[in-house]
Homo-oligomer: A and B are copies of this chain.
Protein backbone atom coordinates (compact mmCIF):
# COMPACT_ATOMS: atom_id res chain seq x y z
CA UNK A 1 0.00 0.00 0.00
CA UNK A 2 3.08 2.23 0.05
CA UNK A 3 3.17 4.84 -2.63
CA UNK A 4 5.64 4.48 -5.44
CA UNK A 5 8.51 6.97 -5.17
CA UNK A 6 10.71 5.57 -7.92
CA UNK A 7 10.23 8.75 -9.96
CA UNK A 8 12.13 10.80 -7.36
CA UNK A 9 15.62 9.76 -8.34
CA UNK A 10 15.17 10.99 -11.90
CA UNK A 11 13.46 14.22 -10.80
CA UNK A 12 15.98 15.16 -8.11
CA UNK A 13 19.45 13.86 -9.01
CA UNK A 14 21.27 16.44 -11.14
CA UNK A 15 19.04 19.32 -10.00
CA UNK A 16 20.70 22.38 -8.47
CA UNK A 17 19.63 24.86 -5.82
CA UNK A 18 21.30 28.17 -4.91
CA UNK A 19 23.64 28.31 -1.92
CA UNK A 20 22.08 30.31 0.92
CA UNK A 21 23.63 33.78 0.85
CA UNK A 22 24.85 33.96 4.45
CA UNK A 23 25.45 30.33 4.60
CA UNK A 24 27.60 27.77 5.97
CA UNK A 25 27.36 25.10 3.34
CA UNK A 26 28.60 22.49 5.76
CA UNK A 27 25.72 22.52 8.20
CA UNK A 28 22.59 20.47 8.19
CA UNK A 29 20.60 23.48 6.98
CA UNK A 30 22.48 23.86 3.69
CA UNK A 31 20.63 20.98 2.04
CA UNK A 32 17.22 22.22 3.18
CA UNK A 33 16.21 23.36 -0.35
CA UNK A 34 16.37 19.71 -1.46
CA UNK A 35 13.82 18.84 1.22
CA UNK A 36 11.56 21.47 -0.34
CA UNK A 37 12.27 20.10 -3.82
CA UNK A 38 11.41 16.54 -2.75
CA UNK A 39 8.18 17.78 -1.18
CA UNK A 40 7.22 19.62 -4.36
CA UNK A 41 7.95 16.64 -6.62
CA UNK A 42 5.89 14.32 -4.44
CA UNK A 43 3.04 16.81 -4.22
CA UNK A 44 3.14 17.13 -7.99
CA UNK A 45 2.78 13.33 -8.30
CA UNK A 46 0.16 13.00 -5.53
CA UNK A 47 -1.75 16.28 -5.64
CA UNK A 48 -4.34 16.84 -2.93
CA UNK A 49 -2.85 13.94 -0.97
CA UNK A 50 0.55 15.40 0.00
CA UNK A 51 1.01 17.54 3.11
CA UNK A 52 3.44 18.85 5.63
CA UNK A 53 2.53 17.36 9.03
CA UNK A 54 1.10 20.67 10.26
CA UNK A 55 -0.92 21.05 7.05
CA UNK A 56 -2.35 17.57 7.55
CA UNK A 57 -3.42 18.38 11.10
CA UNK A 58 -4.79 21.79 10.11
CA UNK A 59 -6.87 20.18 7.35
CA UNK A 60 -8.26 17.53 9.72
CA UNK A 61 -9.25 20.13 12.31
CA UNK A 62 -10.66 22.55 9.70
CA UNK A 63 -12.87 19.83 8.24
CA UNK A 64 -14.18 19.02 11.71
CA UNK A 65 -14.76 22.34 13.38
CA UNK A 66 -17.36 20.81 15.69
CA UNK A 67 -14.52 19.05 17.52
CA UNK A 68 -13.33 21.66 20.00
CA UNK A 69 -11.98 19.74 22.98
CA UNK A 70 -8.50 18.19 23.20
CA UNK A 71 -10.01 14.68 23.15
CA UNK A 72 -12.42 15.50 20.37
CA UNK A 73 -9.66 16.91 18.19
CA UNK A 74 -7.21 14.13 18.96
CA UNK A 75 -9.81 11.50 18.08
CA UNK A 76 -9.77 12.86 14.54
CA UNK A 77 -6.20 11.63 14.26
CA UNK A 78 -6.87 7.93 13.99
CA UNK A 79 -6.17 5.14 14.60
CA UNK A 80 -4.50 5.44 17.98
CA UNK A 81 -1.03 4.60 16.58
CA UNK A 82 -1.25 7.58 14.21
CA UNK A 83 -2.49 9.85 16.99
CA UNK A 84 0.50 8.85 19.06
CA UNK A 85 2.80 9.78 16.17
CA UNK A 86 1.19 12.96 14.89
CA UNK A 87 -0.77 14.68 17.65
CA UNK A 88 0.57 17.93 19.06
CA UNK A 89 0.72 18.62 22.79
CA UNK A 90 -2.42 19.27 24.81
CA UNK A 91 -2.07 23.01 25.11
CA UNK A 92 -1.33 23.47 21.39
CA UNK A 93 -4.29 21.23 20.51
CA UNK A 94 -6.63 23.13 22.84
CA UNK A 95 -5.66 26.54 21.52
CA UNK A 96 -5.84 25.63 17.81
CA UNK A 97 -8.29 27.76 15.84
CA UNK A 98 -8.95 28.68 12.22
CA UNK A 99 -7.24 32.00 12.91
CA UNK A 100 -4.35 30.38 14.76
CA UNK A 101 -3.46 27.14 13.06
CA UNK A 102 -0.50 24.87 13.62
CA UNK A 103 2.80 25.90 12.10
CA UNK A 104 5.88 23.80 11.31
CA UNK A 105 7.47 22.32 14.44
CA UNK A 106 11.01 21.06 14.58
CA UNK A 107 10.28 17.75 16.28
CA UNK A 108 7.29 16.81 14.16
CA UNK A 109 7.39 13.11 13.29
CA UNK A 110 7.12 13.44 9.51
CA UNK A 111 8.53 15.95 7.02
CA UNK A 112 5.90 14.91 4.49
CA UNK A 113 2.63 12.94 4.71
CA UNK A 114 1.00 11.33 1.71
CA UNK A 115 -2.59 10.37 2.62
CA UNK A 116 -3.69 7.87 -0.02
CA UNK A 117 -6.26 5.06 0.06
CA UNK A 118 -6.78 5.44 3.81
CA UNK A 119 -3.11 4.82 4.40
CA UNK A 120 -0.59 7.38 5.64
CA UNK A 121 2.87 7.41 4.10
CA UNK A 122 5.08 9.19 6.63
CA UNK A 123 8.16 10.50 4.86
CA UNK A 124 11.35 12.04 6.18
CA UNK A 125 14.06 13.66 4.08
CA UNK A 126 17.75 13.72 5.04
CA UNK A 127 20.20 15.80 3.02
CA UNK A 128 23.99 15.57 3.07
CA UNK A 129 27.08 17.18 1.77
CA UNK A 130 28.39 14.06 0.01
CA UNK A 131 31.88 14.74 1.36
CA UNK A 132 30.85 15.14 4.99
CA UNK A 133 28.41 12.49 6.00
CA UNK A 134 29.81 11.73 9.42
CA UNK A 135 27.71 10.18 12.12
CA UNK A 136 24.38 8.53 11.38
CA UNK A 137 21.64 11.12 11.96
CA UNK A 138 18.73 11.06 14.39
CA UNK A 139 15.79 9.40 12.69
CA UNK A 140 13.02 9.16 15.27
CA UNK A 141 12.60 8.51 19.00
CA UNK A 142 12.92 4.81 19.80
CA UNK A 143 10.40 5.31 22.62
CA UNK A 144 7.90 6.76 20.16
CA UNK A 145 8.34 3.76 17.86
CA UNK A 146 8.16 1.29 20.77
CA UNK A 147 4.94 2.92 22.02
CA UNK A 148 3.53 2.81 18.50
CA UNK A 149 4.44 -0.88 18.19
CA UNK A 150 2.78 -1.63 21.55
CA UNK A 151 -0.38 0.14 20.40
CA UNK A 152 -0.41 -1.68 17.05
CA UNK A 153 0.01 -5.06 18.75
CA UNK A 154 -2.68 -4.35 21.34
CA UNK A 155 -5.16 -3.07 18.76
CA UNK A 156 -4.11 -5.67 16.20
CA UNK A 157 -4.03 -2.98 13.50
CA UNK A 158 -1.00 -3.01 11.23
CA UNK A 159 -2.32 -1.32 8.14
CA UNK A 160 -2.61 2.38 8.91
CA UNK A 161 0.80 3.75 7.91
CA UNK A 162 4.43 3.22 7.16
CA UNK A 163 7.69 5.18 7.36
CA UNK A 164 9.81 5.97 4.33
CA UNK A 165 13.15 7.77 4.46
CA UNK A 166 14.67 9.68 1.57
CA UNK A 167 18.34 10.66 1.49
CA UNK A 168 19.61 13.28 -0.93
CA UNK A 169 23.36 13.77 -1.25
CA UNK A 170 24.64 17.00 -2.76
CA UNK A 171 27.90 18.68 -3.65
CA UNK A 172 28.77 22.33 -3.97
CA UNK A 173 29.25 23.52 -7.56
CA UNK A 174 30.12 27.22 -7.69
CA UNK A 175 27.18 29.10 -6.23
CA UNK A 176 24.88 26.07 -6.31
CA UNK A 177 24.36 22.79 -4.58
CA UNK A 178 23.79 19.90 -6.96
CA UNK A 179 22.00 16.71 -5.94
CA UNK A 180 24.29 13.77 -6.71
CA UNK A 181 22.46 10.72 -5.34
CA UNK A 182 19.13 9.74 -3.85
CA UNK A 183 18.20 6.73 -1.71
CA UNK A 184 14.84 5.54 -0.44
CA UNK A 185 14.43 3.12 2.48
CA UNK A 186 11.42 1.84 4.38
CA UNK A 187 11.57 1.28 8.11
CA UNK A 188 9.40 -1.85 8.11
CA UNK A 189 11.66 -3.45 5.48
CA UNK A 190 14.69 -3.16 7.76
CA UNK A 191 15.49 -5.77 10.39
CA UNK A 192 14.23 -4.23 13.66
CA UNK A 193 16.83 -6.15 15.66
CA UNK A 194 19.63 -4.39 13.75
CA UNK A 195 18.49 -0.86 14.54
CA UNK A 196 20.77 1.25 16.71
CA UNK A 197 19.31 3.29 19.58
CA UNK A 198 21.43 6.15 20.91
CA UNK A 199 20.17 6.62 24.47
CA UNK A 200 22.31 9.67 25.14
CA UNK A 201 20.95 11.37 22.01
CA UNK A 202 17.35 11.58 23.18
CA UNK A 203 16.80 7.84 22.62
CA UNK A 204 16.96 8.37 18.88
CA UNK A 205 17.14 5.57 16.36
CA UNK A 206 20.10 6.51 14.16
CA UNK A 207 21.03 5.32 10.69
CA UNK A 208 22.15 6.54 7.31
CA UNK A 209 19.22 5.96 4.95
CA UNK A 210 21.64 4.77 2.28
CA UNK A 211 22.96 2.06 4.61
CA UNK A 212 19.65 0.77 5.98
CA UNK A 213 19.13 -2.93 5.21
CA UNK A 214 15.95 -3.60 3.24
CA UNK A 215 15.75 -7.37 3.29
CA UNK A 216 13.54 -8.01 6.33
CA UNK A 217 11.02 -10.70 5.49
CA UNK A 218 8.69 -10.63 8.50
CA UNK A 219 5.26 -8.98 8.50
CA UNK A 220 4.51 -5.79 10.40
CA UNK A 221 3.34 -7.60 13.51
CA UNK A 222 6.64 -9.46 13.61
CA UNK A 223 8.48 -6.21 12.99
CA UNK A 224 6.73 -4.61 15.99
CA UNK A 225 7.56 -7.52 18.28
CA UNK A 226 11.13 -7.54 17.01
CA UNK A 227 11.47 -3.83 17.64
CA UNK A 228 10.11 -4.12 21.17
CA UNK A 229 12.60 -6.93 21.83
CA UNK A 230 15.41 -4.64 20.60
CA UNK A 231 14.11 -1.70 22.59
CA UNK A 232 13.83 -3.62 25.87
CA UNK A 233 17.23 -5.25 25.57
CA UNK A 234 18.84 -1.98 24.52
CA UNK A 235 17.21 -0.20 27.51
CA UNK A 236 18.47 -2.93 29.82
CA UNK A 237 21.96 -2.59 28.34
CA UNK A 238 21.84 1.17 28.88
CA UNK A 239 20.78 0.65 32.50
CA UNK A 240 23.82 -1.58 33.05
CA UNK A 241 26.12 0.95 31.35
CA UNK A 242 24.72 3.72 33.52
CA UNK A 243 25.33 1.76 36.69
CA UNK A 244 28.86 0.77 35.65
CA UNK A 245 29.92 4.09 34.17
CA UNK A 246 27.90 6.78 35.94
CA UNK A 247 27.08 5.37 39.37
CA UNK A 248 29.77 2.97 40.64
CA UNK A 249 32.98 4.92 39.86
CA UNK A 250 31.59 8.05 41.51
CA UNK A 251 29.77 6.46 44.43
CA UNK A 252 33.13 5.33 45.83
CA UNK A 253 34.07 8.98 46.43
CA UNK A 254 31.06 9.59 48.64
CA UNK A 255 31.87 7.03 51.31
Contact = CB atoms under 8 A, between A and B. Distances in A.
A8 to B, nearest CB: 26
A247 B254 contact: no
Interface in A35-61: none
A-side interface mostly: helix
Number of copies of this protein chain within its complex: 2
A106 to B, nearest CB: 10
Contacts of A245: 143
A118 interface: no
Contacts of A21: 21-22
A32 to B, nearest CB: 11
Interface string A226-255: 001101100110110011011101110110
A253 B202 contact: no
Contact of A247 (B199, B239, B242): B239
A253 to B, nearest CB: 6
A246 B235 CA distance: 7
Contact of A246 (B20, B143, B247, B253): B143
A151 to B, nearest CB: 11
10 contacts: A21-B21, A143-B246, A200-B202, A228-B253, A232-B246, A232-B247, A232-B254, A235-B243, A239-B239, A239-B247
